[in-house]
Amino acid sequence: MSAHIASAPTPRVVLVTGAGIGIGRATAKTFAAAGDHVVVTDVLEAEGRAVVAEIAAAGGKAEFAFLDVRSTDAVDALVAGLEARFGAVDVIVANAGIAHKVPLSEMTDEKWDLTLEIDLKGILRVVRAAAPAMKAKGKGVVVALSSIMGVAYGWDEHVHYSAAKAGVVGLVRGLGVELARDGIRVNAVAPGYIRTAQLLHPVNSLGPQGAEAAGAFIPMGRIGEPEDIADVILFLASDGARYMTGQTVVVDGGLLPGRY
C-alpha cells in the first residue's frame, strides 16, 4: 500500500501595484515568502527592481514591470501579457496611491483629478482588465488599499485623498457583490498610521516627529509597520478569508475605537 504524498500548492500569480516602497514592498515580499510568484509594479523603477532583487535573494520568485495605473492602455497590456504567460492573474493587490497636502483654497481640478486617477480609478483599471480571465477560471482575489481617512477619520488639507479612499470602500463593496457569483472575492484594508515614506513626509503628512507623537495616542502604543498591513492582505487573499467579500478591514492599532 503506497503512502499518499501531498503535492505542493501551485504558486499563485500575484500582481501588486505600487510595490516599490512602503506597504506595497512589504506585501510583495510577504507573498513571495509564502511561495507565490509576485509581479512587482511601480513607476519607481529602481525601487521596484530592488524589491525583486530582495525577493530573489531570499529564494522567492518575482519580476518587475513598470506600470502607471493612470494609463488604461498600459494596465490592459500588462494584464494581457501576464494572462498569455500564466493564465488568469490569481491575486491583485491594488496598492498604488499618492497623498499630497493641498488646502481647499488651492485645490485645482488638476490636483483633485490626479489623486482620484491614481488612488481610485487606478484600482478600477486593474480589476476591470483582470476580471474576465478570473471569471473564466472561476476564482480570483482582489485586495484594495483604502485608509482610515476614507472610513471614519477626517484629514484637513487632504480632502481629495479622503474622498478617493472613501471611494475605494464603495468600489470594493460594489465589486464584491457584482463578482461574488463568479468566484471572485474583493476586499479592502484601511490602514491607520503606518511607518511609510508617505507618512514620514514632513510636507504632505505627519513627518517623523508627528508620526512618533501619533504613536502615543494609539491604544497599542505605536504606529504600524508595513508588515502589519501586509500580513492582513495575505490573509484576505487566503482560503482563510474564503467567506469574506465586499468588506473593508481597518488595521490601525485600535486608533478609531480608542478615539471615537
Which triple of cell numbers denotes residue 48? 521596484
Q: Is residue 205 part of a domain?
A: no
Q: pLDDT tens across 180-196, in order?
A: 999 999 999 999 999 86
Q: pLDDT tens across 100-122, in order?
A: 999 999 999 999 999 999 999 99
Taking 70 as the threshold, does the pLDDT of residue 160 lie above it? yes
* Residue 224 CB neighbours (<10 A): 22
Q: Is residue 61 part of a domain?
A: yes
Q: Which of 83, 176, 180, 78 is nearest to 125 (CA)?
A: 78
Q: Is residue 5 part of a domain?
A: no
Instruction: Give the pLDDT confidence score for residue 197 in this predicted structure.
Output: 67
Q: Is residue 117 part of a domain?
A: yes
Domain count, the chain: 1
Q: Is residue 209 part of a domain?
A: no
What distance in Å separates the CA atoms of residue 131 and residue 257, rounded to the nearest whole number?
35
Q: pLDDT tens across 197-234, in order?
A: 665 555 555 656 666 677 788 999 998 999 999 999 99
Report if pTM > 0.85. Answer: yes
User: Comparing 47-51, 92-96, 205-209, which segment has the lowest mean pLDDT?
Assistant: 205-209
Q: Is residue 235 part of a domain?
A: yes
Residue type, 246: G
CATH at residue 96:
3.40.50.720
pLDDT-derived band at 156, boundaries 50, 70, 90: confident
What distance in Å separates the CA atoms of residue 19 and residue 125, rounded to the nearest whole number?
17
Has 161 been annotated as catalytic? yes
Q: Is residue 216 part of a domain?
A: no
Q: Is residue 188 part of a domain?
A: yes
Range of the structural domain that residue 51 is part of: 13-194+226-253
Residue 242 Cα distances to 98, 107, 251, angstroms: 30, 41, 19
Which residue out of 161, 193, 243, 260 is catalytically annotated?
Answer: 161
